[in-house]
Amino acid sequence: MVEKNKTTVARPVKHEAAPSSFRRLKGMKDVLPGDYPVWDFVLRTAFRLADFHGFERVDTPVLENLSLYERSSGRTSDIVTKEMYSFVDKSGDRIALRPEATPGIVRSYIEHGWLNLPQPVKTLWYGPLFRHDKPQLGRYRQHHQINFDIFGEASPLADVQVIFLAHQIVSDLGIKAQVDINSLGCSDCRPNYINKLLAYYREKKHRDQLCQDCRKRLLKNPLRVLDCKEPACINVAREAPQMVDYLCDPCKQHFVKILEFLDGLSVPYNLNSQLVRGLDYYTRTVFELVVPSQTAERPLSLGGGGRYDQLVEYLGGRPTPACGFALGVERLILQLDENHVKVATSQDQPDIFLAQLGDGARLKSLLLFEELRQVGLTIRQSFTKDSLKAQLALASQVGAKYTLIIGQKELLDGTILLRDMESGSQEVLDFKKVKTIMAKRLGKN
Ligand code: AMP
């Protein structure tokens, strides 16, 4: 029986002692307040240009069925065999944290019947990807990509458009990159090339130089031997037969047309017969945006992509030609640092700093803060500080052009003090007119 009038007092929860410090997982990065203006600059530049080219934003979940990646990226790809974060969830489903964007976007294209929309469908996607890779500078276990895809367009002009767009974004960021490009042919011409490649690598003098991984790749995924990073394998690959010499006529015409347009658009490119991109789904064109690396033998890749004409059908949709491109956000940011690109931010120079003394002035100042925001002025303040000296120091530190001060006297008079931060001169303004005066002075009316 419940006793009447007896108050039960909740016992304080006993917490376990906190570990001395939590640290982020290996290969994961925090984006700190000082980093954000650069992220913002990269994303705004990319989104603005993508919008101009008619790409529409889509998002997909971070979690997908593991089998989606097994089927699209390929069971022998590094992403699936070595790098994927996967687990069985509480319902017993095999789940993966997305290691790349394209399979999820294609799944979404099929699931939502985008095929019934006017083609081509051009999508812009941005989000984090997870790969259990060996962390190093520019290689993280969580990184972010901006992806552009064009569905329902077989013309080489679609390939040109994604390459041109990616190159424009990188140029607008102030980075000088070139396009590495290759063609992997199609299911008609590639098998013949693979036979020639295998014959070359089976020669003892070539085979003996290969690393252990490449010997396995020869059996499972021979094209991957061409882009191994081991110096000895790079050496053997230099003399290997090249896919471009074995392209069938339609693949050759497709490739030549792309190169002609890149010439016409003055996009610098380099034919790279070792570029294979490591995923099963590419057909015909593959490309990467690269910059010279200070440390590695191979150039640093800022982004990559290609054509994947069979993937939509392979994942259960109707046959749909498609191509796409992904830029790595962290790599772009590292390049900006390396090129000392100065990023302009809205935080750079505020128009006005609002300073106040006492609670009455603080309330008036908060109301004025909103009014000035509405006329489009950039304002900084420190409503929590009491000392005028500290507030003026902060106003100079953030580079405000003017400081508006409300103290006890101004509160009673219905005035406000305007201080020009450069000259140090001060004038008294009628509080009711301050919004109009400041908007006029700062060119906002
Ligand atoms: P991928 O999806 O492997 O073709 O990579 C496309 C782009 O994403 C690369 O060119 C890099 O800029 C970037 N990227 C790929 N993997 C990583 C990673 N582990 N860490 C940081 N950036 C990455």
Q: Which of 155, 123, 133, 129 is nearest to 144 (CA)?
A: 129
Give the ligand 1 atom nearest the CA of 145.
Answer: 8
* Residue 328 CA to ligand 1 centre (angstroms): 5
Residue of 143, 144, 227, 288 best suited for mutating to test ligand 1, as the one with most atoms within 8 Å of CB:
143
Q: Which of 32, 41, 30, 35 is nearest to 346 (CA)?
A: 41
Residue of 141, 227, 331, 333 best suited for mutating to test ligand 1, as the one with most atoms within 8 Å of CB:
331
332, amino acid identity: L
d(C-alpha 107, C-alpha 378), whole Å: 43
Under 8 Å CB-to-CB from 31, ≥6 apart: which residues?
39
For 299-331, b where at least 16 C-beta lie within 10 A, e where not — what string?
Answer: bbbbbbbbbbbbbbeebebeebbbbbbbbbbbb
Q: One digit per residue, pLDDT tens: the chain, 445 residues?
A: 444 445 455 666 666 766 668 899 999 999 998 888 899 999 999 999 999 999 999 999 999 999 999 998 777 778 888 899 999 999 999 999 999 999 999 999 999 999 999 999 999 999 999 999 999 989 999 999 999 999 999 999 999 999 999 999 999 999 999 999 999 999 999 999 999 999 999 999 988 999 998 998 888 888 989 988 888 999 999 999 999 999 999 999 999 999 999 999 999 999 999 898 877 788 999 999 999 877 766 789 999 999 999 999 999 999 999 999 999 999 999 999 888 787 866 556 899 999 999 889 999 999 999 999 999 999 999 888 889 999 999 999 999 999 999 999 999 999 999 999 999 999 999 999 999 999 999 988 7
d(C-alpha 95, C-alpha 110), whole Å: 19
Which residue's CA is the nearest one to ligand 1's atom 21? 139
Asked if residue 321 has a cis previous peptide bond (ω within 30° of 0), the answer is no
Return the CATH class of domain 33-189+247-339. alpha beta
- What one-character-per-residue DSSP string does 350-376 give? -SEEEEE-SHHHHHHHHHHHHHHHHTT
d(C-alpha 396, C-alpha 380), whole Å: 11
Give the ligand 1 atom nearest the CA of 101.
Answer: 2
**Confidence at residue 278, expressed as pLDDT on a 0 to 100 scale:** 75
- What one-character-per-residue DSSP string does 24-42 give? PPTT-----GGGHHHHHHH
Which residue's CA is the nearest one to ligand 1's atom 17? 139
Domains 33-189+247-339 and 352-441 share a fold: no
Residue of 78, 289, 330 best suited for mutating to test ligand 1, as the one with most atoms within 8 Å of CB:
330
**Confidence at residue 227, expressed as pLDDT on a 0 to 100 scale:** 84
Question: What residues are in contact with ligand 1 under a 6 Å CB criterion?
Answer: 100, 131, 133, 138-140, 143, 145, 301-304, 326, 328, 330-331
d(C-alpha 310, C-alpha 320), whole Å: 7
- Three-state secondary-structure class, residue 108: helix
CATH architecture of structural domain 352-441:
3-Layer(aba) Sandwich (3.40)
Largest CA distance in the chain: 95
**Structural contact between residues 168 and 258, judged by C-beta atoms closer than 8 angstroms:** no
Residue spans per domain, the chain: 33-189+247-339, 352-441
Residue of 97, 287, 301 best suited for mutating to test ligand 1, as the one with most atoms within 8 Å of CB:
301
Instruction: Determine the Cα angle at 367 with ends 361 and 368, to 5°.
Output: 85
**Confidence at residue 306, expressed as pLDDT on a 0 to 100 scale:** 96
Give the ligand 1 atom nearest the CA of 327.
Answer: 7
Which residue's CA is the nearest one to ligand 1's atom 9? 303
